[in-house]
Structure 1
Amino acid sequence: MPVNPFRSALRRSGALAAAAVAVLALTAAAAPAAPALPMPPTPSADTTGDPALAARLRAATADLAGQGFAVAAGEATAGASAAIGTAAPGRALTAATPQEIGSVTKGLTGLLLADAVERGEVEPTTTLGDVHPWLTGHLAATTLEELATHTSGLPRLSTRAALAAPITAITYGNPYRWDTPENLLRDAAWTPLRGPRGEHAYSNLGYALLGNALAQRLGRPYPQLLHERVLQPLGMDATRAAPDPLPAGRARELGPDGRPSTPWRSSGSTPAGVGVYSTAEDLGRLARAAASGELPGARALEPVLDTPGARVGWGWLSADVGGRTVVGVNGATTGVRTSVWAVPGTGQWVAVTSPSGSTGEADTQTVAFRLLGLA
């Protein structure tokens, strides 16, 4: 399995949480009367959807933690969906259960960029200074393609989110709650670059700036623009960016150790994957379109940068696995995991969701690759 370079930041956050759990464990050992720590959840016997696919899903997740897993999978236009485990106490998970999708949103933002390029509204070389004429310095010279490929040199998080991250990694809170399009630009304008431009370094801040810049240039809020240009053409009617109120029937999200996780919400970081909800069935529509190439902004899937783990497009990854070329995108928050993968050469596609955070050893990409028959 290729290493996913987009997940290294999440592993670092997971390390902080793991350190906090270790400290708590030592404290508990010193106090015999203390209650036991929460434990990683495991899927219940609940099963919904296609029985054959559910059996394959249970086999593919037998060694993985999580309160439940949902999947949509198929080949060409044929497919099925199923789920195992629970969405909340006393409620079975289904492939129609809404949950956050994390950085799978970056794949949607990449499609939005490619669609705007195809329409002649922006160019890959359009800069943030072109969109925001008041900007100066390195940020003004940053191109939309640099943001889309994580080569802008910008840090992973905004100043506010970075300050909140050590605490929210332990409490499973929302580090992005202060981010707005305006303060993200101000932060980024005076924040030193983390690395040289042109070098791949994962940046949620960069993707937030990208989606907000497209919204500014095209004159519509990001959620509306995404719905009109990407979600509606794909028939992804259950997918919503920054919904208010949150979707009815959504899954309860759990951290890696089973504690409840706070949903992430942010008006500024939505394009990077904060507060975007979907279902396994809806993400299956995205995966199916990726397998066929029938996507608005399909150019986003084309690799433009090689990294040690995978080839990078505009929000999408591709790699050669088991003699087949796969293309896809993964996402995670503290309390969810999502993966959308396709094999264009065979027409196979799969989308996997889980309303439980990852410990870092395994995630929904593992499940997706197993269901695709890849080692």
Structure 2
Amino acid sequence: MNTFWGDPALAERAQGLLGARHPVAAVATVTRSGVVTAGWGCAPEADFEIGSISKGITGLLYRDAVERQVVRADTSLGELLPLDDSPVARIELGAISQHRSGLPSVPSPVRRALRFRVRGENPYGDTLEELLAQARSAIPGPPRPRYSHFAFELLGHALASAVGTSYPELVADRLAGRLGLKSWYAPSLPVDLRAMSLTGRDRRGRPRQVWTGEALAPTGGVRSSVGDLADLAKALLDERAVGHSALDPVARFGSSGVMIGAAWLTQEHKGRAVTWHNGGTGGFRSWLGLDREAGTGAVVLSATSVSVDRAGFRLLP
């Protein structure tokens, strides 16, 4: 394993949990006394694709908007986005926040699978206009629990539209700027990447295209360093982050005892109620989890597309 930086004890433990399949990784633990970080194969300031933890960010922004009375749970997408009289226009924001929109995981799944699995390309490089066009032609199914990247893309852009801004600017204004999370951004194109941005690899070690896209941002396009994601975890535990009520479980999600708030999942794990979200892109995996009762949290980021969930649960202090 590569030479580590940060806390030696945390690095040794995390390397033991993640193993040789994660040559570029960073981890953090959070307690009431502060944040501890460690990593290897990258600089401490390097930013990773955090994948669907972006949905957790969108969930925070949704609850923040509700609490500020900018939107309501029953506000429809059509009130905020130009969706004409399409069926998708009638979907309510609250339903999306709990993955009950009836929308599929992604639009045009066969085309995207071809681009990603066969060619190794980014399957989510759509513009906002392309996303809206796909939404106008979509036919929602029953409003049962169904994880949807598509729906969270629409939710995030609808929240931004409600205050007359873009999704990246909304993230910067309501969360990143207030918490000092300087590494957070959502690149629309590969040329937008920063000097400290990592490129990931698949489980066979092959380089993967970065996942950028204007439409993608609210569902999987935010990038972060491990320190900034740990600072978010600390702010959530301290209830300093706007929209932290998104963590509160309000409905059952599936049949395995998992509950959902606004994107965030809560489940019992070895006698503890853990609130968490994970993420995965073509070359990255991520996990953020919180034991809100104990006031502890953990973050795992890897620039390899091999799951880190088990390590995340085990790293939770």
Q: TM-score, normalised to structure 1's length?
A: 0.79
Contact in 2 for aligned 1:102/1:332 (Cα 8 Å): yes
Distance 2:107 2:176 in 1: 27
Look up the equivalent residue of 2:179 and give its one-letter code. Answer: L
Note if contact 1:172-1:255 (Cα within 8 Å) is conserved in structure 2: no
Secondary structure of 2:192's partner?
Answer: coil
Partner of 2:59: 110
Q: 8 Å contact 1:256–1:334 — kept in the other structure?
A: no
Give yes or no for contact 2:2–2:23 (8 Å, CA) kept in 1: no
Structure 2 residue 148 is the aligned partner of structure 1 residue 203: yes
The equivalent of 1:253 in structure 2 is 200
Structure 2 counterpart SS, 1:228: helix
Give the C-alpha shift of residue 312 in structure 1. 1.1
What is the aligned partner in structure 1 of residue 160 from structure 2?
Answer: 215
Asked if the contact 2:86/2:137 (under 8 Å) is kept, the reply is no
Counterpart mapping for 1:145-160 below 5 A: 145-159=94-108
Question: Match for residue 333 of structure 1?
Answer: 281
Who is 1:33 aligned against? Answer: none
One-letter identity of the residue aligned with 1:343: D
* Whole-Å separation in 2 of the counterparts to 1:47 and 1:158: 41
1:350 aligns to 2:306 (yes or no)? no
- Report the CA distance between 1:133 and its aligned residue: 6.2
Q: 1:133 to 1:242 in 2, by over 3 A?
A: closer
Q: 8 Å contact 1:73–1:349 — kept in the other structure?
A: yes
CA–CA distance in 1 between the matches of 2:198 and 2:127?
26
Alignment gaps of 5+ in structure 1: 1-43, 87-92
Paired residue secondary structure (1:124):
coil
The structural deviation recorded for 1:67 is 2.0
CA distance in 2, matches of 1:162, 1:246: 28
Whether the 8 Å contact between 1:312 and 1:318 is mirrored in structure 2 is yes
Query: 1:247 offset after TM fit, Å?
Result: 1.7
Unaligned regions of 5+ residues in structure 2, if any?
Answer: none
Q: Which one of the candidate residues 40, 55, 59 is aligned to 2:16?
A: 59
My pick for the range that moved more, 328-337 or 75-84, is: 75-84
Match of 2:308 among 353, 364, 372: 364
Residue 170 of structure 1: CA displacement? Answer: 2.9
Q: Aligned-pair RMSD on alpha carbons?
A: 1.7
Structure 1 contact 76–347 (Cα < 8 Å) conserved: yes
Q: How far does residue 56 in structure 1 lie from its aligned partner after superposition?
A: 1.4
Amino acid at match of 1:191: A
From 45, 48, 54, the equivalent of 2:5 is 48
For 1:236, the equivalent position in structure 2 comes to: 181
**CA deviation map 1:23-76 (0-9, x unaligned):** xxxxxxxxxxxxxxxxxxxxx3321111111111122223x6222221111311
**Aligned-partner Cα distance in 2 for 1:291–1:171:** 41
Tell me the residue number matched to 1:225.
170
How far apart are 1:96 and its partner, in Å? 2.3
Conservation of the 8 A alpha-carbon contact between 1:288 and 1:350: no
- The CA deviation string for residues 90-146 of structure 1, in whole angstroms up to 9 with x for no partner, is xxx244221111111011111111111111110011001222365224212100111
Does structure 2 retain, via aligned residues, the 8 Å contact 1:239–1:278?
A: yes
Alignment of 1:28-39 (within 5 A): none
Select 2:238's aligned residue among 288, 292, 317.
292
Q: Following the alignment from structure 1 to structure 2, what is the Cα–Cα distance between the partners of residues 294 and 302?
A: 15
1:224: how far off?
0.5
CA distance in 1, matches of 2:47, 2:83: 40
Question: Bigger CA drift: 128-137 or 106-115?
Answer: 128-137
Is the aligned partner of 1:73 residue 2:29?
yes
What's the TM-score once normalised by structure 2's chain length?
A: 0.93
User: Aligned pair in 2 of structure 1 residues 329, 200: CA closer, same or farther (>3 Å)?
Assistant: same
The answer to whether structure 1 residue 129 and structure 2 residue 85 are counterparts is no
The SS at the match of 2:263 is coil
Q: 1:162: how far off?
A: 4.4
Q: 1:312 to 1:162 in 2, by over 3 A?
A: farther
Determine the C-alpha separation between the residues in 1 that align with 2:308 and 2:64: 28
Q: Which contiguous aligned blocks of 4+ residues in structure 1 show a shift greater than 3 angstroms?
A: none
Alpha-carbon distance in 2 for matches of 1:296, 1:236 = 14
2:289, 2:162 → 1: CA distance? 30
Whether the 8 Å contact between 1:293 and 1:344 is mirrored in structure 2 is no
In structure 2, distance between residues paired with 1:144 and 1:350: 29
